[in-house]
Chains A and B, each alone.
Chain A
Amino acid sequence: MKCALITGGSRGIGSAICQKLAESKKYHILINYQYNQEAAEKTLEEVVKKGATGEIIQFNVSDSEEVKCVLTAWQEANPDAVVEVIVNNAGITRDGLFMWMTHEDWNNVINTSLNGFFNVTNFFIQRMLRNKYGRIVNMVSVSGVKGTAGQTNYSAAKGAVVAATKALAQEVAKRNITVNAVAPGFIRTDMTSQLDEKELIKMVPANRFGEAEEVAELVGFLASDKAGYITGEVININGGIYS
Chain B
Amino acid sequence: MEADLILEKINEILVDEFEVDADIISPESNLKDTLGLDSLDYVDLVVAIESNFGVKLGEADFVGISTFSDFYKLIETKIQNKN
Contact = CB atoms under 8 A, between A and B. Distances in A.
Contacts of B46: 126
Give the interface size bracket for B toward A.
Answer: under 10
Interface residues of A, number: 7
A129 B47 CA distance: 11
A174 B42 CA distance: 14
Contacts of A171: 39-40
A126 B47 CA distance: 9
A172 interface: yes
A103 interface: no
A64 to B, nearest CB: 17
B38 A129 contact: no
B19 to A, nearest CB: 14
Nearest to A128: B43
B52 to A, nearest CB: 14
Contacts of B43: 126, 129-130
A202 interface: no
A171 B44 CA distance: 15
Interface in B30-78: 38-40, 43-44, 46-47
Interface in A160-214: 171-172, 174-175
Interface of B: 38-40, 43-44, 46-47
Interface of A: 126, 129-130, 171-172, 174-175
